[in-house]
A and B are shown apart, each in its own frame.
Chain A
Amino acid sequence: MSVIKTEKLTHIYSMGTPFEKVAIEGIDIDIPQGQLLAVIGHTGSGKSTFIQHLNALLQPSSGAVYCQGEDINKDKFSRRDVKWKVGLVFQYPEYQLFEETVYKDIAFGPSNMKLSAEEIDQRVREAAAFVGVDEELFEHSPLELSGGQKRRIAIAGVIAMRPQVLILDEPTAGLDPRGCQQILENICDYREKTGATVIIVSHSMDDVAKIAERIVVFHKGKVAMDGSPEEIFCRAEELMDIGLDIPRAAELAIALRREGLGLPEGIYTHEQLLAAILAVKEGSAC
């Protein structure tokens, strides 16, 4: 079942002025419930504009966005309610923390939903658990914590709204490899336990290769590619033409094929590459 669907979605900044700039144009995307989708593209490709349409932070210049079959821009109320269904975590979300305590900050979203105190409490604890924030930290000021912890608290603040769709803009930006790994695990965990749809915007092909089920590549405000990681990474040359990286394993696989190794198509993770080379080795040994 489709949870989010866009139809000919177009956004033009400063429309009607000489500064007019088309950010995205004619985007048709259908996202089924529970999918883990990665959105890729370099800065200015329109991917950030696109995700801000999915919870009505921006209104389309033309076209429409549907959430569970309903037009989210129908009226003021639908625009507000969609924020609970589609949670959006911005880039560097730790810079939005503002409450005196970690607990209150995570509770900000749910209290805006006008839930009961009990319900809010339950959600805060649940969200904190998802991102691995210890309850001992609840009474601390978020500003005292480390960068990685702040980031997780900010993500918990969105998860606490229990969105059916969780969108994260560059959730691993600026973190060290260990921090990246943790955040990605938290997100996958959340999805597994709740069945939520997750959309990740990323620059890092290696991160994406590890977790995504489907990849959408944005280029110059349009969808340049849309498919499974296998399908996308088979088109390595096209990706490089657009100026995007490909996963290192895919790059290495191409180099090895050039050296005459009979590796199958569609390799993009370390494990696949290792298995494929070992298979070739076995084959030649027999």
Chain B
Amino acid sequence: MEAVVKIENLHFCYPGDEAESLCGIDLEIEKGSFVAVLGHNGSGKSTLAKHLNAILVPTEGKVTVFGIDTADEDQLIQVRRNVGMVFQNPDNQIVANVVEDDVAFAPENLGVEPSEIRRRVDGALKQVGMYELKMHAPHLLSGGQKQRVAIAGVIAMEPGVIVLDEPTAMLDPQGRREVVATVTRLCREKGMTVVFITHHMDECVGADRLIVMSGGRVVADGKPAEVFADVELMELEGLSVPETTRLVHDLRQAGADIKGEALDTEACAKLIAEALKH
């Protein structure tokens, strides 16, 4: 598969800081994949995210998106157009007083023709399920709805990658489900590459790939079921694991012979029931 983002030996140190926030990261992100990045506060996951659209540029090493070096200032707009960013606080990324005007902001900045902007705005709002509310004032929407507007604002640029930096941290469970369902659909149906940063492990369950970060390094990288299976590592990192994984792990420790891994509740129940029957 084609890699849309390539990170080579990325080091980053905030000006004035002594310690590096990122200490040597090598990653490739495949086109059309759903990558979840998990880590506790200060693990470097947000700093990494900010490198993907050149909000930050490496102190050392190289980040390329769609073949463009993010450190190339002449290509800044191209980098940002290709990698859309959604942030944590829904209020602080909405620029207009009407939903559709907000979604139009990015294409307007790119100098897109008015009729084409209209088409993109309507399309983006339909994709996130907010078309009916396009004339609403954003401050009257729920947290989940605001984040969906923010996502629409990003996909109106027609980027290849969308990076979400803890988009659910300030939302209630309902809003969280809305956001996860929306980006999952964008990935599965529209082939959008998604990088989803979070500290809620249950939001990583449906991802193609799970990257765990700690102390500015990648400490685990693989399929969610495999990564979570290393319960000791996850707990060491101050992260929790899904109840399914934890139960299977503890049952095994108590001597149960359970074969395979399952994150899904139903599938996990089947595995356990199977093992107990023998």
Q: Which residues of A are at the interface with B, using a C-beta cutoff of 8 A?
A: 42-43, 146-148, 173-179, 203-204, 243-245, 248-249, 251-252, 255-256, 258-261, 270, 273-274, 277-278, 280-281, 284
**Given known A252-B247, A256-B273, A259-B270, contact A43–B172 (CB-CB < 8 A):** yes
Given A179-B41, A252-B268, A255-B265: A42 in contact with B174 (beta carbons within 8 A): yes
Number of A-B contacts (CB under 8 A): 90
| B113 interface residue (CB < 8 Å to A) | no
Chain B residue at smallest Cβ distance from A181: B238
Residues of B within 8 A of A (CB): 40-42, 142-143, 169-170, 172-175, 199, 201-202, 238-240, 242-244, 246-247, 250-251, 254, 256, 265-266, 268-270, 272-273, 276-277
A270 to B49, CA, bound (A): 34
Find the residue from A173, A177, A243 having the highest chain B CB count within 10 A.
Answer: A177
A255/B243 in contact, CB under 8 A? no
Q: Which of A204, A244, A245, A251 contacts B265 (CB 8 A)?
A: A251
Contacts of B277 in A (CB 8 A): 284
| B244 contacts A252, C-beta separation under 8 Å | yes
A245 neighbours in B (Cβ, 8 Å):
173
Is the CB–CB distance between B174 and A243 below 8 Å?
yes
| Chain B residues with CB below 8 A from A270, complex form | 243, 246-247, 250
- Which residues of A are found within 8 Å of B243, using beta-carbon distances? 248-249, 251-252, 270
B172 contact from A148, A177, A203, A281, Cβ within 8 A: A203
Contact of A146 among B42, B265, B266 (CB under 8 A): B42
Q: Which residues of A contact B250 (CB under 8 A)?
A: 270, 274
User: Distance in Å from the Cβ of B82 to the closest Cβ of chain A?
Assistant: 30
Contact check, B41 vs A148: say whether CB atoms are below 8 A apart. Answer: yes
* Distance of A270 Cα from B235 Cα, bound (Å): 15
The reply to whether A255 and B173 form a contact with Cβ atoms under 8 Å apart is: no
* A residues in contact with B272, CB < 8 Å: 256, 259, 261, 277
Residue of A nearest to B39 (CB): A176
Excluding A252-B247, A281-B276, 13 further A-B contacts by CB distance (< 8 Å) are A43-B142, A146-B41, A148-B41, A174-B170, A176-B238, A177-B199, A243-B174, A249-B247, A252-B244, A259-B273, A261-B276, A270-B246, A277-B272
**Complex Cα spacing A256 to B247, Å:** 12
Q: Which residue of A lies closest to B176 (CB)?
A: A203
In the complex formed, the residue of B with least CB distance to A261 is B273
- Tell me the minimal C-beta distance from B265 to chain A in angstroms: 5
Asked whether A255 lies within 8 Å of B247 as measured between CB atoms, the reply is no
Task: Report the Cα distance A203→B200, complex, angstroms.
Answer: 13
A173 close to B273 (CB less than 8 A): no
Q: Shortest beta-carbon distance, B37 to chain A, in Å?
A: 13
B226 to chain A, nearest CB (A): 20
Query: Please, could you name 15 A-B residue pairs with CB atoms under 8 Å apart, sorted by A?
Result: A146-B42, A176-B40, A176-B41, A178-B40, A248-B242, A249-B247, A255-B266, A255-B269, A256-B273, A258-B269, A259-B269, A274-B250, A277-B251, A277-B272, A281-B254
Chain A residues lying within 8 Å of B201, measured Cβ to Cβ, are 177
